[in-house]
Chain A
Amino acid sequence: MIRLIKFISLILFLILSLQKLSNANNNSLSVDKISKNLRCLICQGQSVYDSQSDFAISMKILIDNKIKEGKSEKQIYDYLKNQYGEWIVYDPEFNKKNLILWAFPLILFIFGGLLIYRKVFIN
């Protein structure tokens, strides 16, 4: 009998702790993850995650609220981009303005490849 109670309580403990863990993952991890990808606009060179400025603290609360509303990560980024412009996210979008920037490594790579190819196979 005592064994059974011990066994059941162990199982219960495991289930509860797992639930706690997954809950914690759901909430805090997402806020951290999203705020790491956001630039703190009033503190140079810091992410929202790193900063303790009023702006960043409020931003983290807002992100938490949006997550609780059931918004997806992309929806939150889009919402903030709409309010503050694209500068707020660290990951720049692919567009005409930065086409060279994106394509340049590829061009260099192909160019270098051609050079090597010529050196090795033709000469």
Chain B
Amino acid sequence: MKKNIFYLILLLFFTFIFTVFYKGLDKPNFYTPKEVNNKNFEEFTSFELFSNKQFDSQDIIENNKFTLVNIWSSWCVPCRQEHSVLMNLSKKTDLNIVGLNYKDKKNNAIKFLKELGNPFSKILIDPDGIISISLGAYGVPETFLLNNKSKIIKKYIGPLTENNISEIIKIIK
């Protein structure tokens, strides 16, 4: 009798382990970054791309009801796709769009904007990529929608799509 109970427990135990691992097989084992909303946006100071003047992120964000911060670079291929979407957004709304130029050369960045248009009200530079890391970004492109209290309302990892744009327009209206 005692032996039977022991084997039963052993059997249950192995079935439990088997189910756990079997379920685990279906789980994707690659990491997908979490989209964290409602967090505070790290404050930073940087230089403007064209004027080389120093700006504080806080001053730019406070003066507008909503701000869209877009991390981009001229060498980044998805940014090229995304750019037309951003141009569209800037034409449709008067949203304050701020660019953060990630690890780029000044000449290349300006050339890129001349070719594809400039949707940004200001472009701050991030030559080492440290600012982007301190904002919690993974790479380029990445976009943050902020309110005037520096709260992250929405974070988009990867290029913006037309669907994202309509979502943003809904939020800011």
Q: Does A14 contact B (CB under 8 A)?
A: no
A: number of interface residues (CB 8 Å): 15
Q: Does B78 contact A (CB under 8 A)?
A: no
Q: Does A102 contact B (CB under 8 A)?
A: no
Q: Does A34 contact B (CB under 8 A)?
A: no
Does the CB pair B30–A55 fall under 8 Å? no
Number of interchain pairs (Cβ within 8 Å) = 39
Task: Tell me whether A44 and B129 are in contact in the complex, defined as CB-CB below 8 angstroms, given that A54-B103, A54-B139, A85-B36 are known contacts.
Answer: no
Q: How far is the CA of A31 from the CA of B138 in the complex (A)?
A: 20
Binds B, one of A20-28, A59-67, A90-98: A59-67
Q: How far is the CA of A54 from the CA of B104 in the complex (A)?
A: 12
The main secondary structure of chain B at its interface with chain A is loop
Instruction: Write the nearest CB–CB distance from A108 to chain B, whole angstroms.
Output: 10
Does the CB pair B36–A61 fall under 8 Å? no
**Residues of A in contact with B (beta carbons under 8 Å apart):** 41-42, 44, 54-55, 57-59, 61-62, 65, 83-85, 87
**Residues of B in contact with A (beta carbons under 8 Å apart):** 30-31, 33-34, 36, 42, 103, 128-130, 132-136, 138-139
Known contacts A41-B31, A58-B103, A83-B42, then 7 further A-B pairs from the complex at CB < 8 Å, ordered by chain A residue: A55-B129, A55-B133, A61-B128, A62-B130, A84-B136, A85-B34, A85-B36
